[in-house]
């Protein structure tokens, strides 16, 4: 993992609320979150962890000078990732397109400190295997008139943690899963950073 050089900036960083991001893919939500908090007075993104060594999110992290960690499935479950999380002491762990299930050990160690965004209105279209374009395809096949996003706390089961925020969008004009995805991305980019900020600064 890339180290943060010791400097005045690092001293300030020690007193800030820290976000740790997990992602598996392109990282459009990750980049949006980084940009939102880039010059924030008391919130900072301290790392991006990924299970995919070819994920484009790594390029985005490099462009923004955010430290990264690549891990495999064994390292996620054998305590390696747990220890790396503990080193950073995050105030919030954000799953932004992370496709693996979080181990129970990590979930229990960070109660109400791990959140996920799901590209549908849970409890519909959630659970194992329901992610990305698969969700949008199923939504269209079922002739839904609307879909949306759900931001929720993470527990031991896929997509079953307490809801934090939901937002709907009409999709009657959408012809393809990609059309639905574009509307969902707009919702994600608009709301996800704001909800993260409200969780970390509930009184602001």
**What's 150's domain CATH number?**
3.40.50.170
Q: Is a pLDDT exceeding 80 seen at residue 158?
A: no
Average pLDDT over residues 180-192: 96
**Domain identity same for 101 and 142:** no
Domain span including residue 156: 117-204
User: Cα separation of 146 and 173, whole Å?
Assistant: 10
Q: Is a pLDDT exceeding 50 seen at residue 7?
A: no
- Ramachandran region, residue 159 (left: φ > 0; alpha: ψ -120 to 50; beta: rest): left
Catalytic residue chosen out of the listed positions 36, 40, 64, 118 = 118
Q: Is a pLDDT exceeding 70 seen at residue 5?
A: no
Active site residue 152: no
List C-alpha distances in Å: 45 to 18, 67, 107.
Answer: 6, 9, 20
Percent of the chain with pLDDT over 90: 82
User: Cα separation of 129 and 149, whole Å?
Assistant: 17
Burial class for 96, CB neighbours closer than 10 Å (0-12, 13-18, 19+): buried
Helix (H) or strand (E) holding 50: strand 43-50
Last residue within a domain, chosen from 110, 128, 157: 110
**Domain identity same for 125 and 98:** no
The model's confidence at residue 1, banded by pLDDT at 50, 70 and 90, is low
Contact 147, 171 (CB under 8 A): yes
Number of domain units in the chain: 2
**Domain identity same for 165 and 190:** yes
**Domain identity same for 8 and 82:** yes
**Domain identity same for 124 and 102:** no
Last residue within a domain, chosen from 75, 110, 145: 110
Last residue within a domain, chosen from 110, 131, 146: 110
**Domain identity same for 67 and 152:** no
**Domain identity same for 61 and 150:** no
**Domain identity same for 169 and 152:** yes
Of residues 64 and 14, more confidently modeled: 64
**Domain identity same for 76 and 38:** yes
Q: What is the mean pLDDT of the chain?
A: 91
Cα–Cα–Cα angle for 106, 69, 26, nearest 5°? 100
**What pTM was computed for the model?**
0.90
**Domain identity same for 137 and 93:** no
pLDDT of residue 48: 97
């Amino acid at each position: 993992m890339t180290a943060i050089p010791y400097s005045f900036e690092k001293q300030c960083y020690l007193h800030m609320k820290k976000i740790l991001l997990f992602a598996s893919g392109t990282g459009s939500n990750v980049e949006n979150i980084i940009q939102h908090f880039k010059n924030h007075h008391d919130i900072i993104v301290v790392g991006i962890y990924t299970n995919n060594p070819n994920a484009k999110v790594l390029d985005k992290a490099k462009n923004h000078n955010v430290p990264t960690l690549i891990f495999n499935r064994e390292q996620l479950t054998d305590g390696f990732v747990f220890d790396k999380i503990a080193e950073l002491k995050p105030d919030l762990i954000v799953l932004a397109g992370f496709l693996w299930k979080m181990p129970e050990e990590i979930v229990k160690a960070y109660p109400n400190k791990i959140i996920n965004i799901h590209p549908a209105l849970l409890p519909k279209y959630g659970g194992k295997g329901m992610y990305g374009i698969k969700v949008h395809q199923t939504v269209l096949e079922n002739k839904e008139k609307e879909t949306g996003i759900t931001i929720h706390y993470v527990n031991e089961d896929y997509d079953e943690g307490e809801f934090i925020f939901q937002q709907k969008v009409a999709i009657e004009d959408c012809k393809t899963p990609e059309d639905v995805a574009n509307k969902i991305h707009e919702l994600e980019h608009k709301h996800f950073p704001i909800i993260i900020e409200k969780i970390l600064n509930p009184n602001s």
